[in-house]
Structures are given as C-alpha cells and as structure tokens.
Amino acid sequence: MATGGASTHHFNASKLFDASGYVCVITGGGTGIGLMAAQSLAANGAKVYILGRRMEALEKAAKSHHDPSGGGQIIPLGPCDVTKKEDLQKVVKELEGKETYINMLMCNAGVGGPKAPPEQEDAKDLKKNIWENESVEAWNDCYNVDVTAVYFTTVAFMPLLQAAIKPKGPLENFSPSVITTSSMSGLMRNSQGHFAYNTAKGATVQLTKLMSAEFMKAGVRVNSIAPGYFPSEMTTKESGDDQKSELPHEQIQEKGHVPSARAGKEEEMGMAVLFLTKNEYVNGQILAVEGGVLNVVSS
C-alpha cells in the first residue's frame, strides 16, 4: 500500500540543499563567515545580498567569488551600519524595490570587543590589568553590534521574511528563517580573556531563543550557528585581495583545547548555513560548529 513517502531520489544532496529561487540577506557578508555563507547559498542557486559598512569590501567579495555555474548571485548592498536604524531602514527600502520577499536573513555582523586575560592571582594586579585594558565604551560597542543590532536587523527585515510565506510567496509557513551568528564563546565558562565578547555572544544565544519563540507567531524560524575557530578577520585581523583570511592549523593546535586540531573548513560552515536555511523543521536551535571544543572547555 502506497504511503506517499519520499522516494530515494528525493534524498539526493542536490535536492535537499537546492536554494534555487531563494533570496537571502547576510550582514557582515564581505569577509569571513558571512562570505562563506554567501558562497554556499549562491553555489546552490540563491540570490544573496551581502551587507556591510565597507562597500569596497562587499564589491571585491562579490567580484572575486562570482561563479555562474551554481545559478546564484552574490550582490553588494549598502553601505549599512547595522547599529543604526536609519541604515537598516534604507537598505530594507532599497531591497523592497528589487525583491518582493526574502527567504533567509543571516545576522552575521560582529566585533570582538576588548581583551584583558585575567591571569593574575593578586586582586590588585587583576584589577589593574582589567581596569587599564577595558572600558565601558568598548563593552557597549561590543554589545551594540553583537546583540542589539541582531535584534533590530531581524525586526527590520521581518515583513520581507513573512512575505515569503504562501499565499504571498512560494513557500510554506515556517520556511523563511533567520540565522544569527553567535559563538562557542557564548556557550562556555572560560572567559578566554574577553569577558565582553563572551557575554555578548551568550546574550545572542538567549536572544535567538527569545526571537524563535516570539517570531514563530509571524511564521518565521530563528536559529543560531555557534562557530569555533574559522578563518576570518576577527580571528586573523586581516584578509587578502579576495576577502579571504588564513588560519594555520598550527595556530589552533597551540591552543591545546581543540580536539579536531585544526581550524574549521569553510565548506563545513557552508554546510551548517544550508542546513538551517533549508530544514523547515528546525527552530530555536543553537548549532555549535566548533571541532569539539565544548567537550573539553567547561560549558
């Protein structure tokens, strides 16, 4: 008796992760994880708009990684400072002139924040180190980009996301999705010397859960990717002419707490992005892609 279940050919990877016809938006899309996400989506048919403060970086990224073989596109959009509501409104309005809906928004823009390893046992030395190397302003800047901006970016694009749902758009309820970029740092108890960043990323994790519960009323899913060590400007402080960064495995091995003993591969990040973009049955989850670090570091 026929059950109407999926035939074997439906499980082909090219069908499972086909993003043809998808319209996606990625903040911080000109370098690092944002660019990896854009490449993975475009390679599988999506039209991907990348946002950022530096138009030159966005344009170089789009030009360097244009590949028509996948059927998708990488398109610069901006400039946009995600901490400014007027910038967000401006790019939303510009996008509304080009598209009637978007299928996925990735809130990826982020900053590292101040760093002062608390290694001193003497309280006076501990205070001196932190007091002289961190500031309230630097903490606030980190939180504004890594948490507050994620919230307002999601809210700004919500109508375009909901418009992807039938009968307005081509997709079913809960198909449109938001992916936040949190971090393994927001899931661990080790400060790694940067309290502000780890605290902010912990807040991003909680914000993701709150938005997933509240915004499902609008038919939009919200999940998060919590990366470990991946090559980006945040981890290497620079990128090349192709907007790519290099993170040698030896540098990761020296840390002594990465079971995989290497940095994450760009393709591995691409897999995570495609999974959360396409799997409509996943909502409110934090997907840690970190080489097993959280099995070793207290979390």
Beta strand pairing call for 221-227 and 177-181: parallel
Q: Rounded CA gap, 185 and 113, in Å? A: 13
Joined together, the tokens standing for residue 37 give 């996400």
CA distance 205 to 262: 25
Whose CA is closest to 96, among 115, 110, 77, 112? 77
How many residues in the chain?
299
52 near 29, Cβ under 8 Å? yes
Please tell me the distance from the alpha carbon of residue 102 to that of residue 83, in angstroms, as a whole number.
21
Q: DSSP secondary structure string, 22-75?
A: -EEEEETTTSHHHHHHHHHHHTTT-EEEEE-S-HHHHHHHHHHT--GGGS-EEE
- Which residues are catalytically annotated? 182, 197, 201
